[in-house]
Chain A
């Protein structure tokens, strides 16, 4: 085990963990570098590909919304490193409880890309079968999933399963009572859960200062939960600290808290207009900290960049993007009778009567079609 007492137990370190600077140079931090000592040239290139593919999924979905193919989309633009670094720290049998902005995590968990937009197109309230990728569907009520993760983790702990559960939430959700309660329950139960806060600086129009007057990670210390701040635009640093927290959970060490400092470069959702509440200068500043540019500079500095690699990554992103686009456009509207499906697990007289009545009502229209 790596001794990280200083940063993890007291939170006195004023600087977030960073392993790569925005210009692509490595940071000398032996303690955290040791956690990713197995990440060689091939793995660095894979992480870069993950970042690029994630951005392509996100940009594609945003475009689909602008073209009327999706009702809404919550862009993750700028948060790719937080998502890829954390998701790639997980084992297959770990379980993820996400928010609604984690398409990059879903990609890493192996989701079929053609399912990612189902919820956002409005054909269903969920995207994928959670048990197929050990990841829940988007949680729309912010912070609610922290408690679910804690309960799931405790149940796994009671079984004796050596897994970690990781829950994503944002700086806005950190104000929710459910997150506070989850921290308390997780600490009391020593539940194997990792609280992963993507502090992207904005909760729609509210800057993070509205949510907290101290670094969000400090909330964890009051519950006796160790925590760490990490540069959320540095995929290697995020991978390192998440591996540490996941290992701790899997080994029975209890909960941890990670605050990834990142930036929501796009709007909250496609229905939002950030120009109403933040300056172009701020957006420009964070553009210079773009997580994908940083990883490219690292690869260039370390002699891992060439046109073949670039082409291969572009082709992969193009293929995934095309799959998302085609699947979205081809999704048929659900049959009206799906309204009444799965409200209960067993037959329910009220639902059955309403289904029959509405079915008969629809049948009265010419050719069974209601305008």
Chain B
């Protein structure tokens, strides 16, 4: 059936609620309203207030109580309404959720999924367009994923909810309205592991790594580059922690060139980690320095400036030109 990215997420949660009585959804405005992006639309009506819980407006409270629920055996799926609102919950995520399994030497698990709409491109006000994924990828004990397509939105969310580790799930909000023709039952049977990257477009001249909302941008850039005679391989990371370095390495050994793009600021971002690892693992295969195309190292700018801040196909193509000029 033709479905949107948002509806794929909704279906993922609906099926998780149906399959496992331990799954509960928690968040601000997720019940009666169905979420500010309608991602949880109709779920409270169908599953009741005790399984789809409108919480008080307190992010630390949402994650902290979800943690307590997990200790009692529940499997909470928490929504943080916007990326920039996650910071009040940072302590509970980093100090409690991420560490409890290690702290208790494996005796206690925190199978919590934390959904965060992230990234820019919707012309919103401050704190509504950020890309805080590096903070979480840096934290041992968390898994971090970000789907780029409706198909992966469904599959990765199902896998995240089923995962016994805590998962921070970054939803590229500007892709909520993207459409695809999906067979959800067939996706349930597809065994692609959640921590495996995917080659979205094959190529042999350079490797372009992206995730979340930037994958579609990277594919557009690759299409334009093809018209200019450069064959780009586009890798969709899907998992930001752990990162599937094997897939990137295998690609770079073939292409000799690597560009990483993300909306988040470049300094100490995921691109830096990928550049370092690839330099360690295939230095002698590289024909050019690894390049990063990301947000500037500034606070997220006002909406009228965000088109300059978010990498677009032209800025990626500028980096493509530079890698071939090297």
Is the CB–CB distance between A154 and B69 below 8 Å? yes
Instruction: List residues of B (47-65) whose CB comes within 8 Å of A's CBs.
Output: 50, 55-56, 58, 60-61, 63-65
Is the CB–CB distance between B105 and A147 below 8 Å? no
Q: Decide if A350 is an interface residue (CB 8 Å cutoff).
A: yes
Is the CB–CB distance between B103 and A185 below 8 Å? no
Is the CB–CB distance between B68 and A153 below 8 Å? yes
Q: Decide if A188 is an interface residue (CB 8 Å cutoff).
A: yes
Q: How far is the CB of B286 from chain A (nearest CB, A)?
A: 21
CB-defined contacts of A155 to chain B, threshold 8 Å? 68-69, 72-74
Instruction: State which of A137, A184, A343, A345 has its C-beta within 8 Å of the C-beta of B61.
Output: A184
Q: A126-B105, A151-B69, A185-B56 are in contact. Are A344 and B143 (CB under 8 A)?
A: yes
Interface size class of A (residues with CB under 8 A): 35 or more
Instruction: State which of B64, B88, B106, B141 has its C-beta within 8 Å of the C-beta of A151.
Output: B64
Q: Decide if B207 is an interface residue (CB 8 Å cutoff).
A: no
Interface size class of B (residues with CB under 8 A): 35 or more
A345 to B106 Cα, complex, angstroms: 7
Is the CB–CB distance between A152 and B106 below 8 Å? no
Interface flags for A113-150 (1: CB within 8 Å of B; 0: not) read 00000000000111001110000110001001011111
Q: How far is the CB of A196 from chain B (nearest CB, A)?
A: 16
With most chain A CB atoms within 10 A of its CB, the pick from B60, B74, B140 is B60
Interface flags for B129-169 (1: CB within 8 Å of A; 0: not) read 00000000000110100000000000000000001110000
Q: Decide if A182 is an interface residue (CB 8 Å cutoff).
A: yes
CB-defined contacts of A125 to chain B, threshold 8 Å? 99, 102-104
Instruction: State which of B68, B102, B103 has its C-beta within 8 Å of the C-beta of A149.
Output: B68
Residue on B nearest A181 in the bound complex, by CB: B61
With most chain B CB atoms within 10 A of its CB, the pick from A154, A155, A159 is A155
Is the CB–CB distance between A341 and B68 below 8 Å? no
Q: How far is the CB of B178 from chain A (nearest CB, A)?
A: 30
Instruction: State which of B68, B73, B96 has its C-beta within 8 Å of the C-beta of A141.
Output: B96
CB-defined contacts of B66 to chain A, threshold 8 Å? 151
Is the CB–CB distance between B242 and A349 below 8 Å? yes
Q: A150-B68, A343-B141 are in contact. Are A177 and B60 (CB under 8 A)?
A: yes
Q: Decide if B118 is an interface residue (CB 8 Å cutoff).
A: no
Instruction: State which of A152, A177, A342 has its C-beta within 8 Å of the C-beta of B102.
Output: A342
Is the CB–CB distance between A182 and B101 below 8 Å? no
Instruction: State which of A144, A148, A158, A341 has its C-beta within 8 Å of the C-beta of B71.
Output: A148
Is the CB–CB distance between B106 and A182 below 8 Å? no
Residue on A nearest B109 in the bound complex, by CB: A345
Instruction: State which of B65, B108, B143 has its C-beta within 8 Å of the C-beta of A185.
Output: B65
Q: How far is the CB of B181 from chain A (nearest CB, A)?
A: 32
Instruction: State which of B68, B73, B102, B106 has its C-beta within 8 Å of the C-beta of A147.
Output: B68
Residue on B nearest A131 in the bound complex, by CB: B107
A12 to B58 Cα, complex, angstroms: 30
With most chain A CB atoms within 10 A of its CB, the pick from B72, B96, B105, B140 is B72
Q: Decide if B44 is an interface residue (CB 8 Å cutoff).
A: no
Q: How far is the CB of A131 from chain B (nearest CB, A)?
A: 7
Residue on B nearest A352 in the bound complex, by CB: B242
Q: A126-B105, A185-B56, A345-B164 are in contact. Are A144 and B92 (CB under 8 A)?
A: yes
CB-defined contacts of B73 to chain A, threshold 8 Å? 155
A296 to B281 Cα, complex, angstroms: 71
Is the CB–CB distance between A137 and B67 below 8 Å? no
Residue on A nearest B110 in the bound complex, by CB: A345
Instruction: State which of B55, B61, B91, B104 has its C-beta within 8 Å of the C-beta of A182.
Output: B61
Q: Identify whether the interface residues of A are mostly helix, strand, loop, or mixed.
A: helix
A143 to B140 Cα, complex, angstroms: 23
A149 to B69 Cα, complex, angstroms: 9
Is the CB–CB distance between B61 and A148 below 8 Å? no
A207 to B112 Cα, complex, angstroms: 38
Q: Decide if A275 is an interface residue (CB 8 Å cutoff).
A: no
Q: Decide if A178 is an interface residue (CB 8 Å cutoff).
A: yes
A362 to B164 Cα, complex, angstroms: 31
Q: How far is the CB of A300 from chain B (nearest CB, A)?
A: 44
Residue on A nearest B246 in the bound complex, by CB: A349
Residue on B nearest A188 in the bound complex, by CB: B56
A115 to B105 Cα, complex, angstroms: 14
CB-defined contacts of B65 to chain A, threshold 8 Å? 147-148, 150-151, 154, 182, 185
CB-defined contacts of A178 to chain B, threshold 8 Å? 60-61, 64, 91-92
Is the CB–CB distance between B60 and A126 below 8 Å? no
Is the CB–CB distance between A130 and B56 below 8 Å? no
Q: Decide if A213 is an interface residue (CB 8 Å cutoff).
A: no
Q: Decide if B124 is an interface residue (CB 8 Å cutoff).
A: no
Q: Decide if A348 is an interface residue (CB 8 Å cutoff).
A: yes
Q: Decide if B95 is an interface residue (CB 8 Å cutoff).
A: yes
Q: How far is the CB of B62 from chain A (nearest CB, A)?
A: 9
Q: A125-B103, A150-B68, A152-B68 are in contact. Are A185 and B58 (CB under 8 A)?
A: yes
A351 to B104 Cα, complex, angstroms: 18
Is the CB–CB distance between A344 and B101 below 8 Å? yes
Is the CB–CB distance between B164 and A158 below 8 Å? no
CB-defined contacts of B140 to chain A, threshold 8 Å? 343, 351
CB-defined contacts of A349 to chain B, threshold 8 Å? 195, 242, 245
Is the CB–CB distance between A147 and B60 below 8 Å? yes
A344 to B95 Cα, complex, angstroms: 15
The 20 listed contacts between A and B (C-beta, < 8 Å) are A125-B99, A130-B71, A130-B107, A146-B64, A148-B64, A151-B66, A151-B72, A156-B72, A177-B60, A177-B88, A178-B91, A181-B58, A181-B64, A185-B58, A185-B61, A341-B102, A342-B105, A343-B141, A345-B165, A349-B245
A contact set with B: CB distance below 8 Å: 97, 124-126, 129-131, 136-137, 141, 144, 146-156, 158-159, 177-178, 181-182, 184-185, 188, 341-346, 348-351
Given contacts A149-B68, A345-B164, A346-B165, 9 further A-B pairs with CB under 8 A are A126-B107, A151-B65, A151-B70, A152-B71, A158-B50, A185-B55, A185-B58, A341-B102, A341-B105
Closest 5 CB pairs of A and B: A151-B68, A147-B64, A151-B65, A181-B61, A155-B72
B contact set with A: CB distance below 8 Å: 50, 55-56, 58, 60-61, 63-74, 88, 91-92, 95-96, 99, 101-109, 140-141, 143, 163-165, 195, 242, 245
